[in-house]
A and B are shown apart, each in its own frame.
Chain A
Amino acid sequence: DARVTQTPRHKVTEMGQEVTMRCQPILGHNTVFWYRQTMMQGLELLAYFRNRAPLDDSGMPKDRFSAEMPDATLATLKIQPSEPRDSAVYFCASGLQASSGNTIYFGEGSWLTVV
């Protein structure tokens, strides 16, 4: 059963520390999205990649957030330095890009708490 894998599942860290979240997309998928969700609010798009190239990261605070895709099996989202307002669930999702849209599948999420 193919699925998107995210690590860590839960992370508690102190303000100012670096946080790195990792995502393994479904094998063969060429599109990866990072979303942030707070208190069961909407899904805020932070960044997305197609064929490992970043297409848009305008939703991401540039001063502290960075997203990369070192290879086709790994996407990373890094926060440095972390702040309490970054506490949220970070979802990675992957799909197979098609001009008419693609179904994307979500990972279980990384639950981040910054104290």
Chain B
Amino acid sequence: GENVEQHPSTLSVQEGDSAVIKCTYSDSASNYFPWYKQELGKRPQLIIDIRSNVGEKKDQRIAVTLNKTAKHFSLHITETQPEDSAVYFCAVYSGNTGKLIFGQGTTLQVKP
């Protein structure tokens, strides 16, 4: 069955430093990999996504890399700011089943 592992579960960085969150998945039919940011008491919101025919995508300070062979993908946040503090979720979409399965989440704290 589908499985998504996300690491680390918590991450604390100093403002201005970079943050990296990694996810691995098991379903080789997975072809879409979004990342969501959830602030306390709010709904998850999409921040960036990548499809299986692309190895890297960047949007200002955030980027995502995908290694389909190794079945892992990562979120990179550069020049972190206190407002980046939130819980980040990776997700994996299976083209076979249509399911969107989420990782366990990473709580990011950016210290001023």
A interface residues with partner B (beta carbon < 8 Å)? 31, 33, 35, 40-43, 45, 48, 50, 55-56, 91, 93, 97, 99-109
Nearest residue, chain B, Cβ from A33: B100
Among residues 55 to 112 in chain B, which have CB atoms less than 8 Å away from a CB atom of chain A? 87, 89, 93, 95, 97-105, 107
Do A50 and B98 form a contact, CB below 8 Å, given A40-B105, A101-B51, A102-B32? yes
Report the minimum CB–CB distance from A82 to chain B (whole Å).
22
Do A43 and B44 form a contact, CB below 8 Å, given A56-B99, A100-B51, A101-B32? yes
Interface size class of B (residues with CB under 8 A): 20 to 34
Which residues of chain A are near B45, meaning CB under 8 Å? 106
Do A42 and B46 form a contact, CB below 8 Å, given A100-B31, A100-B95, A101-B32? no
| Contact assessment for A103 and B46 in the assembled complex, using a CB-CB cutoff below 8 Å | yes
| Contact assessment for A103 and B49 in the assembled complex, using a CB-CB cutoff below 8 Å | yes
Which residues of chain A are near B36, meaning CB under 8 Å? 106
Interface string of B28-45 (1 = CB under 8 A from A): 000110101010101111
Which residues of chain A are near B107, meaning CB under 8 Å? 40
Do A103 and B34 form a contact, CB below 8 Å, given A41-B104, A42-B102, A45-B100? yes
